[in-house]
Structure 1
Amino acid sequence: MSDFLPPTIDPIAAQRWQQAAPPVAPWLHEEVGRRMQERLQWMAAPPAVWCHWHALRGGVQTHDLIAQRYPQAQCYVVEETAAAQQAAQARWASPWWQPWRAGKLQVAMPPELGANMLWANMLLHTQANPLALLRRWHAAVAVDGFVMFSCLGPQTVQTLHQLYAALGWPPAGHSFTDMHDWGDMLIQTGFAEPVMDMETITLSFATPERLLQELRELGRNLHPQRFAGLRGPQWRDRLLHAIDQHLRLPDGALGISFEIVYGHAFKAAPRSARQWKKNRADLR
């Protein structure tokens, strides 16, 4: 097993979540996607072909912003469940009265897309084997193309983890990978020149119930040692009371923070054996 695999993700639970996740983006996904697409202004050339991996959960509003930025580009939307593929087709299929849009977007799952840009928003932290997904991305990106992604970092919802620990409960959620490890994984899977950074976004809520609703929309607890059985209304009442008591922000609202990791990297041309030998000789 690679040292880079997440230490606390149950692969079966992760697979079930991928199958069951509703084909709609939570508010936080759309906000992160909006911030990430602003970074495209620093990319030198517009892509002729771009790929949106898991576009529905990544954000349809974000997708539309990118499509407006690159109106001439061919786009492939990649969804991996039949329900999501049907929803994506219904969402972005060109109507008959707009024939000029036909062919600009396809819901497809070919092994190699030749994309100049692969976009994946808030996805990697749910993967039990992120290296396998990064390799698929590398195969889908054209030489000199790039991948741009975001995901949750290890400081996400730390106050909730601390609250669960103080109450003697199993972990509140699985752990998230550090941005430096993502950079190492990008290099290991064949990408070059990774650039990683992060920011913290704090959301505030009026009630504990609304806070829990937001967390459920964002995902599930994939920790192998999560509580295995069903919990009743008494446990829920105790959790809501604890949140109300311990997750207050200075302004009195309930708050919880998310570490957002951003990354991008390029796909370099493969080195030939002759180039590799020459480079090694130059280093001697």
Structure 2
Amino acid sequence: MFDYAQVRARFNRAHRSYDQYAVVQQEAGRRLAARFDWLKLAPTRILDLGAGTGQMTRALQARYPKAAVFALDLAEEMLETLPKSGRWIKRKRAVCADMHHLPFATGSFDIVISNFAIQWSHDLGLLLAEIARVLAPGGVLSFTTLGPESLRECRRAWAAVDGGSHIHGFLDMHDVGDAMVRACLADPVLDQEQLILHYPDAMTLLRELRGVGVGNTLFDRSSGLTGRHKWQAFLAALEAEKTGAGIPLTYEVVYGLAWGSGISPMSEEPRKIP
């Protein structure tokens, strides 16, 4: 379970530094956007789920200029980085909300796109059911998320120090696919690849993770500060991961695609934005 007050606070703090450090997130977003080259679509309404600083919002608006693109994020200061002019902002399409409770009418969107947000879900079944609800029949869900090999170097380094919860766990691609089927999303397709960055030292690696809002936001994290001895032991264990290229940091990027079936496990209920 995530402490979403902490998640929101971390991403709000990172809103100015995010684009500077989000190398993997941006590359995965470019690869995700390129997959629309293969899809013949003419959407009228698009939802960027977990929009952050708006990489996918801008990419989809450029690809489909006649569509209304909505950007939704939990962190309001992330949304403040979006463009301040043009028809997009004038129509107030930035929405601060919990992705598990989407404030939109059933069947609202022809495309739901999400880059590096789904891994922050405490209940993937609920999230996918909500996506299935707001997705129009024949609409497209396309997303990236993280697989279990992600951040394995940090996980190993902490395991050498203690048995506490320091690094978030990530679902296997096959579990994500099963959840998509249970949410009544049609013809799900998933694949994955590993992207590995290298850093000159442990502190540079950790500074960049913090720069994109990554931190321990689990409810069962230690309530106190990590002692100096443990912290130094963690840094030493992370330095021990170093190769000739530097300290590696692995991201297992999972790509998902599915279609709206017009069916969702979620019951229909009134929403704030029609």
**TM-score > 0.5, shorter chain as reference:** yes
Mark the structure with the bigger radius of gyration: 1
Summarize deviations over 1:158-216 as a string: whole Å, max 9, x none.
23222222333424312110111111111111211000010001011112101111233
- RMSD of equivalent CA atoms: 2.6
CA distance in 1, matches of 2:144, 2:88: 29
CA distance in 2, matches of 1:239, 1:89: 35
1:126 is matched with 120
Whose helix fraction is larger, Structure 1's or Structure 2's? 1
CA distance in 1, matches of 2:80, 2:8: 18
Equivalent in 27, 30, 33 of residue 26 of structure 2 = 30
CA distance in 2, matches of 1:168, 1:125: 24
Unaligned runs of 5+ in 2: 96-102, 265-274
3-state DSSP class of the match of 1:263? strand
CA distance in 1, matches of 2:46, 2:91: 10
Closer/same/farther in 2, CA of residues 213 and 258 from structure 1, 3 Å limit: same
Q: Give the alignment's TM-score, normalised by structure 2.
A: 0.80
Closer/same/farther in 2, CA of residues 259 and 48 from structure 1, 3 Å limit: same
Whether 2:223 is the aligned partner of 1:228: answer yes
Closer/same/farther in 2, CA of residues 129 and 18 from structure 1, 3 Å limit: farther
CA distance in 2, matches of 1:60, 1:168: 38
* Amino acid across the alignment from 1:52: D
Unaligned runs of 5+ in 1: 1-9, 272-284
* Amino acid across the alignment from 2:93: Q
Higher mean C-alpha deviation, range 194-203 or range 105-114:
105-114
Whether 2:260 is the aligned partner of 1:267: answer yes
CA distance in 2, matches of 1:102, 1:155: 38
1:242 is matched with 237
Q: Which has the higher contact order (CA 8 A, sep 6+)?
A: 2
Whether 2:44 is the aligned partner of 1:18: answer no
Q: Give the alignment's TM-score, normalised by structure 1.
A: 0.78
Equivalent in 227, 243, 248 of residue 255 of structure 1 = 248
* Amino acid across the alignment from 2:83: W
3-state DSSP class of the match of 1:55? coil
Closer/same/farther in 2, CA of residues 168 and 196 from structure 1, 3 Å limit: same
Percent of aligned pairs sharing the same letter: 22
Equivalent in 79, 98, 105 of residue 73 of structure 2 = 79
4+ residue stretches of structure 1 with deviation over 4 A? 100-105, 222-225
| Contact 1:186/1:194 (8 A) holds in 2 | yes
CA distance in 2, matches of 1:269, 1:115: 11
Whether 2:45 is the aligned partner of 1:49: answer yes
2:185 is matched with 191
